[in-house]
C-alpha cells in the first residue's frame, strides 16, 4: 500500500543558495502543448517556486517531424528568448508515447548528445515527466538523467528545492541525493541484468530504493488544474480548460487513466472555476467556452451545479468524455443549451462479450436505446466509438458489432426524420494498445494484418449505410505506439536509427523488425520480467494479473468506491 501524501524528509528550507533556470519543453507543436493542462500546471508550479525561473518551449505550429533542423531563432525559449544551452535543466513533459520521437529530435536540434553518458557539465540536466513516462520510463532511460514518476504537484517542488538549496558546480552531483525523493527515478543507478541481448532485470545500487514509488497528490486543494497560458493558437482555440476528475472509478481494463491515477479524486470545482476565472479576467478577449476535462467528468457529484453556473454566465460548455450511463435528461438539456451538437457514445468493445472482457457492463439494447434517447433529445451528430483487437476477440464479435451499428443507424435515422433534420453518425474504431500499468499489460497487440482485414470488412459493410462516416485508427501507428509503450532501454538503438534515417520511423522499425515484434506481439506470462516493473504503483501482489485473468473469463471487477474498497491495495 502506498502511504500518502508522501513528503521528502527532511523538508528543505532556508534561503536559496543556487537559483536555477529550467526550460519546460513540450515535444510537439505549440498548439498541442497549450492544450495540455499538465504542462501548464507544471509551468505555473515551477514559476511559483523561490529560486526557479521556468521558461517554456514547444515546436512551431507548421513543424513537421521529417524536418532535419530548425533555424536558431525557432529554437529559443518562448519568453526569455534564450537558447536551450543557457538553461541548467531541460524538463520534457510527455503525455503521449509518439512524442518520444519528437523529444529525441529536439535534443538533436538543441545540439545536446542523445545519451546521458555522453553529456557533461557543459550540458543541461535532462529531465522528463508526464503520464507516458510514469507508465513506463524505460524507453527513454538512456537519454534522460532523472524522471518524475507520478503527479507533478509537490513532487516537482521537492526535486527543484534540492537544487536551489544546495551548492553545486554540475547538477549531476545531486542526482543520487534526489533518489531519496519518492517518485524520482534516476536510471543510471539501476544498471540492467541481461541474458544475451535481452534485459531481464535491474541491480539497483545500494543507496537507492529497489523500486520507484509512483507519486500522487493526496491533498484536494492541490487539485486545481486549468488553463494558465491562454492563447489563440491552442488546438482548442478559444476554449479554456479545467480538470474535473483526476483518475477514474470505472476500471476499464484497457485504460491507463483508470489505473495509473488511482485512487480516483475529485477536485473542488467551484474553487477551480474561480481560479480559472481569475486567469480569464486578465485576457483581452476571454474564452467563451469552458472545456471540462477528465476521464469521466460526469462522475463528479458537483458537475451539474458548475455546468448551470457556467451556462448562466452565458458561456458555452464542452465535455471531454461522458459515460453513456450518466447522460441524464438534465445533463443533455444543458449540453444542448450550451450549443454542443455532437456526442460520443463510447461503447469501447464491439460486442457484449468483449465489453465484459474490458469490465464494462453495457448491453446492445441499452446502447441502442441511449442513442435513440440522445437523438430524440436533439443531438445532431452521434459518434459510436469502440476499440478493436481486444483479448479473445473473434469474427463473431465483429458480426455483433455490425448488427449493433445497423440497429443504432436505424434508430438514429428514424429519430432524425421525426424531428426533421439529420447530421452524421460516425463510427470510430481504434486498435487496442496494451498499455503498461493496466491489466492488459501482459497481452500482445493484435497483428497489423489481422486488424487491417477487420477494418476492410467493416468499411465494405458500413459503406452502404447513408449518413454514416467511418474513422479507423491506423494499425501501423498503433504498432509503433505499442513498441514505444512496452519497450525497454534497448529502444536507444531505435532512436539512433530514427535520427540517422532522416526521422523516418517506418524505416527505423524495419531495421530491427524482429526485435520490435518481440515487444509488440509478445504474450507475457505471470512471472515474466516487465521493464516497467521498476515503478511501484502500489498494487497489492498480483492485483493486475488477477484482474487480467478475470477479464479473460469475461468477469467483472467492482468500480472504485474509495470509502469502503480495499481490493487493489492503493486506498
Nearer to ligand SF4, 258 or 434 (CB): 258
Nearer to ligand SF4, 66 or 561 (CB): 561
Torsion angle, alpha carbons of 259, 261, 266, 272, to 10: -140
353: helix, coil or strand?
helix
DSSP state of 522: -
CB 32, min distance to ligand SF4, A: 30
Q: Does 570 bind ligand SF4 (CB under 6 A)?
A: yes
Q: Does 560 bind ligand SF4 (CB under 6 A)?
A: yes
Q: Does 562 bind ligand SF4 (CB under 6 A)?
A: yes
C-alpha cell, 129: 515527466
Most distant pair of Cα atoms in the chain: their distance: 74
Cβ pair 419, 380 in contact under 8 A: no
What are the backbone angles phi and psi of residue 297, rounded to the nearest 5°? -65, -25
Nearer to ligand SF4, 47 or 562 (CB): 562
CB 151, min distance to ligand SF4, A: 15
Cβ pair 27, 94 in contact under 8 A: yes
User: How far is Cα 394 from Cα 419, in angstroms, rounded to an integer?
Assistant: 38
What are the backbone angles phi and psi of residue 139, rounded to the nearest 5°? -55, -30
Q: Does 248 bind ligand SF4 (CB under 6 A)?
A: no
User: How many positions of this chain bind ligand SF4 (CB under 6 A)?
Assistant: 11
* CA 427 to mean position of chain CA atoms: 23
Q: Does 140 bind ligand SF4 (CB under 6 A)?
A: no
User: How far is Cα 506 from Cα 148, in angstroms, rounded to an integer?
Assistant: 30
Q: Does 384 bind ligand SF4 (CB under 6 A)?
A: no
Q: Does 566 bind ligand SF4 (CB under 6 A)?
A: yes
CB 562, min distance to ligand SF4, A: 4
Q: Which of 431, 437, 485 is nearest to 100 (CA)?
A: 485
Of 44-52, 306-314, 412-420, 563-571, the segment contacting ligand SF4 by CB under 6 A is 563-571
CB 505, min distance to ligand SF4, A: 36
Pattern 261-290, ligand SF4, x by CB under 6 A? -xx---------------------------
CB 563, min distance to ligand SF4, A: 8
CB 258, min distance to ligand SF4, A: 9
Nearer to ligand SF4, 290 or 560 (CB): 560
Q: Does 555 bind ligand SF4 (CB under 6 A)?
A: no
CB 10, min distance to ligand SF4, A: 30
Q: Does 565 bind ligand SF4 (CB under 6 A)?
A: yes
What are the backbone angles phi and psi of residue 251, rounded to the nearest 5°? 60, 40
Nearer to ligand SF4, 204 or 569 (CB): 569
DSSP state of 393: -
Query: For residue 479, what are the CA distances in angstroms to 136, 437, 474, 488?
Result: 17, 18, 9, 16
Cβ pair 119, 175 in contact under 8 A: no
CB 260, min distance to ligand SF4, A: 11
Of 164-172, 298-306, 337-345, 555-563, the segment contacting ligand SF4 by CB under 6 A is 555-563
Of 88-96, 223-231, 383-391, 556-564, the segment contacting ligand SF4 by CB under 6 A is 556-564
Cβ pair 226, 243 in contact under 8 A: yes
Nearer to ligand SF4, 119 or 262 (CB): 262
Q: Does 25 bind ligand SF4 (CB under 6 A)?
A: no
CB 202, min distance to ligand SF4, A: 26
User: How far is Cα 518 from Cα 497, in angstroms, rounded to an integer?
Assistant: 18
Pattern 496-515, ligand SF4, x by CB under 6 A? --------------------
Find residue 29's DSSP bridge partners.
59
What are the backbone angles phi and psi of residue 257, rounded to the nearest 5°? -60, -30
CB 266, min distance to ligand SF4, A: 13
Q: Does 540 bind ligand SF4 (CB under 6 A)?
A: no
In this structure, the number of other CB atoms found within 10 A of the CB of residue 4 comes to 17
DSSP state of 298: G
Nearer to ligand SF4, 294 or 431 (CB): 294
User: How far is Cα 254 from Cα 258, in angstroms, rounded to an integer?
Assistant: 9
User: How far is Cα 325 from Cα 477, in angstroms, rounded to an integer?
Assistant: 31
Nearer to ligand SF4, 478 or 571 (CB): 571
What are the backbone angles phi and psi of residue 265, rounded to the nearest 5°? -135, 155
Q: Does 349 bind ligand SF4 (CB under 6 A)?
A: no
User: How far is Cα 544 from Cα 565, in angstroms, rounded to an integer?
Assistant: 16
C-alpha cell, 78: 518562448
CB 66, min distance to ligand SF4, A: 42
Nearer to ligand SF4, 130 or 439 (CB): 439
Q: Does 561 bind ligand SF4 (CB under 6 A)?
A: yes
Binding site for ligand SF4 (CB under 6 A): 262-263, 560-562, 565-568, 570-571
Amino acid at each position: 500500500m502506498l502511504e500518502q501524501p508522501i513528503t521528502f524528509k527532511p523538508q528543505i528550507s532556508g534561503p536559496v543558495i543556487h537559483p536555477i533556470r529550467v526550460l519546460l519543453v513540450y515535444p510537439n507543436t505549440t498548439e498541442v502543448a497549450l492544450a495540455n493542462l499538465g504542462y501548464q500546471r507544471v509551468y505555473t508550479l515551477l514559476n511559483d517556486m523561490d529560486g526557479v525561473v521556468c521558461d517554456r518551449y514547444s515546436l512551431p505550429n507548421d513543424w513537421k517531424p521529417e524536418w532535419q533542423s530548425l533555424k536558431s531563432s525557432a529554437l529559443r525559449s518562448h519568453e526569455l528568448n534564450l537558447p536551450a544551452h543557457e538553461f541548467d535543466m531541460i524538463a520534457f513533459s510527455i503525455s503521449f508515447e509518439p512524442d518520444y520521437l519528437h523529444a529525441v529530435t529536439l535534443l538533436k536540434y538543441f545540439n545536446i548528445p542523445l545519451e546521458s553518458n555522453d553529456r557533461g557539465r557543459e550540458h543541461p540536466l535532462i529531465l522528463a515527466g508526464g503520464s507516458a513516462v510514469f507508465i513506463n520510463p524505460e524507453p527513454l532511460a538512456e537519454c534522460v538523467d532523472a524522471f518524475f514518476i507520478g503527479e507533478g504537484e509537490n513532487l516537482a517542488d521537492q526535486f527543484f528545492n534540492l537544487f536551489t538549496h544546495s551548492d553545486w558546480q554540475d547538477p549531476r552531483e545531486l542526482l543520487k541525493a534526489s533518489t531519496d525523493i519518492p517518485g524520482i527515478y534516476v536510471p543510471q543507478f539501476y544498471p540492467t541484468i541481461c541474458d544475451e541481448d535481452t534485459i531481464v532485470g535491474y541491480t539497483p545500487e545500494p543507496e537507492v530504493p529497489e523500486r520507484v514509488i509512483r507519486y500522487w497528490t493526496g491533498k484536494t486543494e492541490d487539485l486545481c488544474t486549468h488553463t494558465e497560458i491562454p492563447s489563440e493558437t491552442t488546438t482548442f482555440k478559444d476554449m479554456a480548460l479545467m480538470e474535473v476528475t483526476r483518475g477514474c472509478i470505472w476500471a476499464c481494463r484497457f485504460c491507463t487513466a483508470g489505473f495509473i491515477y488511482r485512487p480516483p479524486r475529485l477536485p473542488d470545482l467551484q474553487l477551480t472555476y474561480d481560479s480559472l476565472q481569475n486567469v480569464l479576467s486578465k485576457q483581452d478577449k476571454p474564452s467563451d467556452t469552458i472545456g471540462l476535462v477528465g476521464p469521466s467528468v460526469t462522475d463528479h457529484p458537483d458537475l451539474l451545479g458548475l455546468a448551470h453556473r457556467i451556462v448562466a454566465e452565458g458561456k458555452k460548455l464542452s465535455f471531454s468524455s461522458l459515460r453513456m450511463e450518466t447522460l441524464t435528461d438534465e445533463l443533455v438539456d444543458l449540453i444542448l443549451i450550451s450549443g454542443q451538437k455532437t456526442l460520443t457514445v463510447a461503447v469501447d468493445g464491439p460486442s457484449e462479450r468483449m465489453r465484459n472482457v474490458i469490465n464494462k457492463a453495457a448491453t446492445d439494447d441499452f446502447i441502442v436505446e441511449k442513442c435513440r434517447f440522445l437523438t430524440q433529445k436533439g443531438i445532431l451528430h452521434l459518434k459510436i466509438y469502440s476499440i478493436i483487437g481486444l483479448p479473445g476477440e473473434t469474427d463473431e464479435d465483429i458480426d455483433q458489432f455490425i448488427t449493433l451499428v445497423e440497429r443504432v443507424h436505424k434508430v438514429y435515422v428514424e429519430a432524425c426524420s421525426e424531428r426533421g433534420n439529420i447530421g452524421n453518425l460516425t463510427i470510430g474504431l481504434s486498435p487496442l494498445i496494451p498499455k503498461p500499468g493496466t491489466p492488459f499489460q501482459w497481452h500482445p497487440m493484435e497483428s497489423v494484418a489481422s486488424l487491417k482485414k477487420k477494418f476492410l470488412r467493416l468499411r465494405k459493410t458500413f459503406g452502404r449505410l447513408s449518413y454514416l462516416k467511418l474513422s479507423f485508427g491506423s494499425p501501423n501507428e498503433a504498432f509503433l505506439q505499442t513498441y514505444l509503450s512496452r519497450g525497454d532501454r534497448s529502444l536507444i538503438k531505435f532512436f539512433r536509427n530514427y535520427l540517422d534515417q532522416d526521422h523516418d520511423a517506418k524505416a527505423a522499425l524495419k531495421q530491427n523488425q524482429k526485435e520490435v515484434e518481440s515487444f509488440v506481439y509478445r504474450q507475457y506470462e505471470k512471472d515474466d520480467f516487465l521493464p516497467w516493473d521498476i515503478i511501484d504503483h502500489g498494487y497489492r501482489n498480483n492485483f493486475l494479473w488477477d484482474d487480467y485473468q478475470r477479464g479473460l473469463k469475461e468477469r467483472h471487477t467492482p468500480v472504485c468506491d474509495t470509502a469502503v474498497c480495499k481490493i487493489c491495495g492503493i486506498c
